[in-house]
Every structure is written in C-alpha cells, then in structure tokens.
Amino acid sequence: MIPLDGQPILTAGEMRAAEEATMVAGTSVDTLMERAGEGVAVAVHRLAAGADIVILCGPGNNGGDGYVAAAALHRMGAAVRVAASGAPASPAAVRAAARWHGPVEALAQAEPATILVDALFGTGLSRPLADEVAAPLHRLARAARLRIAVDVPSGVGSDDGAVLGAATCDITLALEAAKPAHLLQPAAQACGTVRLIPIGVPVVSHTHVLSSPLPEGERDMACVAPSITLPTPGPNSHKYTRGMVAIVAGGMAGASELASIAAMRAGAGYVLHLGEGQGPPHALVRKIFSADALQDARIGAIVVGPGLGRDDATRRMLDASLAAHRPLVIDGDALRLIDPTTIPAGSILTPHGGEFSHLFGQEGDKITRTRRAAAQTGAVIVHKGPDTVIAAPDGRVTVAGEGSPWLSTAGTGDVLAGAIGAMRAAGLDPFAAAGAGVWLHGAAARRLGPAFIADDLADALSAVRG
Ligand SMILES: NC(=O)C1=CN([C@@H]2O[C@H](COP(=O)(O)OP(=O)(O)OC[C@H]3O[C@@H](n4cnc5c(N)ncnc54)[C@H](OP(=O)(O)O)[C@@H]3O)[C@@H](O)[C@H]2O)[C@@H](O)CC1
Ligand SMILES: Nc1ncnc2c1ncn2[C@@H]1O[C@H](COP(=O)(O)OP(=O)(O)O)[C@@H](O)[C@H]1O
Ligand SMILES: [K+]
C-alpha cells in the first residue's frame, strides 16, 4: 500500500483510457481485475487481523474486484461473506462472480460484519445512490468496526468530489492512481486514509498530489511526481540571494505583519514591510509605502493584498505594485480590487473559494475551474481550502492532500501569502514557489496540532523548513 504523496491523479475517463491502452498492449481486463482483487484481499487480510468480513459487490467492475477479493480472502482462510446489490452486469464482473463459490446475500438483508469492504460502485458511478442501496450501505457501515472502500467509497463523484450517498470509510484502497475524489472535498473526507494499490496500468497525468520536498540530490531518483524543492542557502549566499520580499501593508496592519513574519520564517533573506507599523521583529525592515520603494531591482517578490483594504488609496498601492514589474503574489483584498485582465503573466494568485468565484465564477469541478483560471490569466492560481488546488497556465496541477482543519482560523491565508513570497523571491518559478509555500504551510500546521493561531503558524514555518 503506497501513500498518495506525489502520485498522479486521473479522472474516470483518463483511467478508462489508460486501462484500454493496457488491454491493447496485451493485458486482459480479467488480469487487471485479478490484480486489483488480489491486492485488495492482501490489504484487507492484514487490516482485518482475523475479524469477520463482509464484501458488498455492485454490478460493474468495482463489484468484480470485490468478488475476486472475496475468493482470495477465502483462500487465505478469512471469514468472508459477500452481499450484492444485484446480479453482476459487466462481462468481467460476471466472470469474476463465477469464481466466488460461496453464498451471495441480498444487500437489503445482509448481516453486518466487523470489517466492511465496499465494492458497490467505483469510478463508473453515474447518478446518486438510490435509497434501496444507500440505506443498507449506511446500516452495514454503522455496524462495522472498520470500513474499507475499493477504489473510491461507493456514492462519490470520482471527478468532482461530490458525495452522492456514500458512507464514510476509514480506508480507501485506490487502484493504480489517485482520483480527484480522494483529494477534493467533501468526498475526500468520506475516503478516510487513502492508499494506492498498483495493478500494472501505466498512467501519466498533468495532475498530481502535492509531494513532500525531497532532500537535495534525491530529486532525479524520484520515480513519481515532480517533487518540490525548498531553496536552502549555501556558503556563498547572502541576504539578497536568499530573496528579498516586499510586503505592501494596508489598513488592517495585522494581516501584512503576519505575511512579513511568515516570509522571514519561510527563509527570505530580507523582508521589506511597506506600511505604517512599528515594533518587532527587529530584523523586519520597515518603510513607509511609496511606488519608488517598489522599484528596488533586488526585490524578488512583492506580496500585495493581505489586509490591504479596498479604498482608492489602496487601489493606487495595488496599481503601483502591478507597475513595478516584479514577481507578484496577489492575495486577499487585492483579489477583490484587481481587474483579471490586468494580471501580469507569471503572478501567483491565492484566492479562497469566495475570492475565486468573484474572479472566475463557479462552473465545473475545482480542478477544472482552477486550471481554466490559470490558462485564462497566465498566472499560477492557488485555489485555497481544505483541498487546495494549484494550477499553472500550461495545464499542470497539484492538489494538496494533507492540510490541517485547524488552519480554518483568521490570518492563516496571510501566512501562506508570505511563505509563497519567500519561495518566489528565493528564485523558484511561480508553480514551484506556490507548491513549496503550500507544503510548508500545511507541514507547519500539522506540527502545531490543535488550536494554534496564525501568529504561531508563521513562527512554526522555520521548524519545517528542513
Ligand atoms: N481502471 C482500471 O484500470 C481498472 C478498474 N477496475 C475497477 O473498475 C471500476 C470501474 O468499473 P465500471 O466502469 O464498471 O463502473 P462501476 O463503478 O463498477 O459501476 C458501474 C455499474 O454501476 C451502475 N451504476 C452506476 N451508478 C449507479 C447507481 N447510482 N445506482 C445503481 N447502479 C449504478 C452502472 O450501470 P448504469 O449506469 O449503466 O445504469 C454499471 O453497471 C473501478 O472503480 C475499479 O474498481 C478494475 O476492475 C480493473 C482495472
Ligand atoms: N478546513 C481546512 N482544512 C485545511 N486547510 C484549511 C481549512 N480551512 C482553511 N484552510 C487553509 O487556511 C488558509 C485560510 O486562508 P484564508 O481563507 O485566506 O484566511 P484569512 O484571510 O483569514 O487569512 C488557506 O491556506 C486554506 O487553504
Ligand atoms: K467502492
């Protein structure tokens, strides 16, 4: 079982195409189903640790995986039963079901078991679960001690992360690749912990799970996703090569202070805070805002938006930031003020859901929407939330899997903008800088645990810099 870190994410259509290409190359669907079912059986056997198991099988190939897993678990000596929502319908599922020689209970009357394996529907779900399926699924899930989904929990939209009647599982065994539903809310929550089971289908994708940074030198050894790199100083580094970040401060001073401290703690060599405030940290260089101050050619990133305000004066500050022709991180109020047609290519935008909808509308799933916005603007878009999606104008997307729900507190977005500013000023390209900033932010939050405040989060960035 492989963790999701850095893995490709495929839509149902992309997964089907990859499966078909594998079949054209000579591997039958039965072989793929055999590998899927065997892989599921091995994982379930280990997780069940001798407890009784019921496998719920649907009519399609997801159900087929369930029948194969049932037969394999029986051979392994497990106490396994099968309950089906109806007769198998796909040809491969019919053949798989014929290999299960035990009884098949009707789903509606099925007895619960300690371990529930949900193989009713996978990526082929085409509509919400009907009550006659959802009700017994939820009844059996409530009665089980451990709920394991095959590929995706039955009753989630694989591509858009909608919940269409699924029961929440503890573990999801994703076949070959991650699916959007494993990352996008609300489905991701119904998946529990997601682990991959390889079944020998070669997959390529422009969409990946955000990976943890690899130690320097190991980058080329990574066989999966594009890994992220955290820039680290060398013997010849000085404060300007480490990166100079200018933070434009507005009416709500606390927000830009948080962004400044975050930029420092994420590793910037020099942070210039352009605003009225005073006080520590002493290493923060404070100047009154002026368009001239933004002309310093050493500035590697300007962060504009946290606590900026939305009046005429702040609009002029935004205009000066755009006119400075330095790499930009555009956040918060600046996202409300800006005309999307004036966003300089190569900028990084960090909208939360409301800011994103205001700029780009709400049509489509989160990955598609974010990718489209990046292509439209030529900017990297960090579409925040419990399922942060980062899209580049060339179509690459990463989705941040592990955040922390404790990030849902005021000011954490300002911290993210500062952290991304530091990564950009250190010389990472916009897409890499966004990924590195989002990773640092999530890692700092996980390290802090519960009930931290944004000030703690900014400080904790140092500890996860590595
Ligand atoms: N990709 C790979 O390489 C491999 C993939 N494999 C596995 O295949 C899975 C995908 O299989 P799949 O395409 O057969 O779809 P699946 O999810 O079983 O459901 C389709 C069936 O359900 C029906 N149906 C749909 N919604 C319904 C509803 N709400 N309520 C009631 N019925 C509903 C639908 O009928 P219809 O929509 O036509 O009415 C159809 O009969 C994938 O997740 C993985 O587990 C492995 O076996 C091998 C390698
Ligand atoms: N439930 C959650 N789980 C994980 N991350 C979250 C959650 N809620 C918010 N976040 C993250 O916290 C940050 C909040 O940013 P934002 O909404 O701009 O807040 P603020 O404007 O108060 O700083 C974003 O990085 C977002 O991805
Ligand atoms: K399933």
ipTM: 0.96
- Cβ–Cβ < 8 Å for 242, 267: yes
d(CA 164, CA 162): 6
Question: Is 165 among the annotated ligand-binding positions?
Answer: no
SS3 140: helix
DSSP strand pairing (389-391 vs 397-399): antiparallel
Whether residue 65 is contained in a domain is answered as yes
> 254 alpha carbon to ligand 2 midpoint, in Å?
16
Ligand nearest to the CA of 19: 1
Q: How far is CA 447 from the centre of its chain?
A: 18
Lookup: tokens for 411: 């000011």
Q: Which atom of ligand 1 is nearest to the CA of 126?
A: 26
Two structure tokens written together for 77: 């000596």
The answer to whether residues 365 and 427 belong to one domain is: yes
**In one letter, which amino acid is 457?**
L
Domain of residue 186, CATH code: 3.40.50.10260
**381 and 266 share a domain?**
yes
Query: Any binding-site annotation on 352?
Result: yes
Inter-residue contact 399 to 314 (CB < 8 Å): no
Same domain, 193 and 253: no
How far is it, in rounded angstroms, from Cα 384 to Cα 316? 26
Same domain for 190 and 284?
Answer: no
Q: Which of 156, 182, 205 is the last residue of a domain?
A: 205
> What is the full DSSP assignment across 19-64?
HHHHHHTT--HHHHHHHHHHHHHHHHHHHHTT--EEEEE-SSHHHH
352 lines ligand 2 (CB under 6 A): yes
Per residue in 100-120, pLDDT tens? 999 999 999 999 999 999 999
Structure tokens at 103: 């009884």
Considering the domain boundaries, does residue 414 fall inside one? yes
For residues 187 and 278, membership in a common domain is answered with no
Sequence-separated (6 or more) residues with CB below 8 Å from residue 392: 374, 380, 430, 431
Q: Write the residue with the smallest CA distance to atom 24 of ligand 2.
A: 413
Query: At a CB cut-off of 8 Å and minimum separation 6, what does 7 contact?
Result: 177, 178, 196, 208, 209, 224, 225
Instruction: Write the CB contacts of 126 (distance below 8 Å, at least 6 apart in sequence).
Output: none
Residue 256 near ligand 2, beta carbon < 6 Å: no
User: What local confidence, expressed as pLDDT, does residue 223 receive?
Assistant: 47
Residues bordering ligand 3, an ion, CB closer than 5 Å: 118, 149-150, 154
Domain range spanning residue 144? 12-205
Residue 279 is predicted with a pLDDT of 84
- One domain, residues 404 and 446: yes
Asked if residue 171 and residue 299 are part of one domain, the reply reads: no
- Regions of the chain with pLDDT less than 70: 215-226
Tokens encoding 80: 């396994």
Is 178 in the same domain as 304?
no
Same domain, 279 and 173: no
Q: How far apart are CA 3 and CA 372, in angstroms?
A: 28
What's the rounded Cα separation, in Å, for the pair 346 and 377? 9
Q: Which DSSP helix (H) or strand (E) runs through 460?
A: helix 454-464
Predicted local confidence at residue 403, as pLDDT: 82
- Cα 240 to Cα 249: distance, rounded to the nearest angstrom: 21
* Ligand 1 surroundings by CB, under 6 angstroms: 15, 19, 32-33, 36, 58-65, 89-90, 121-127, 129-130, 133, 150-151, 175-176, 199, 201
Return the bridge partners of 304, or none.
248, 330
The beta-carbon contacts of 255-258 under 8 Å, at least 24 apart in sequence, are 255/306, 255/307, 255/332, 255/411, 255/414, 256/306, 256/307, 256/308, 256/414, 258/306, 258/411, 258/414, 258/415, 258/418, 258/454, 258/455, 258/458
Final residue in a domain of this structure, among 189, 205, 221: 205
Residue 219 included in any domain: no
| Residue 300 phi, psi dihedral angles, 5° rounding | -95, -15
Residue 31 sits in the same domain as residue 107: yes
Number of domains in the chain: 2
The sheet carrying 380-383 orders its strands as: 207-209, 397-399, 389-391, 380-383, 348-349, 328-330, 299-304, 244-248, 270-274, 285-287
CA–CA gap between residue 160 and residue 138 (Å, rounded) = 22
Q: Could you tell me if 296 and 270 are in contact, meaning their C-beta atoms sit under 8 angstroms apart?
A: no
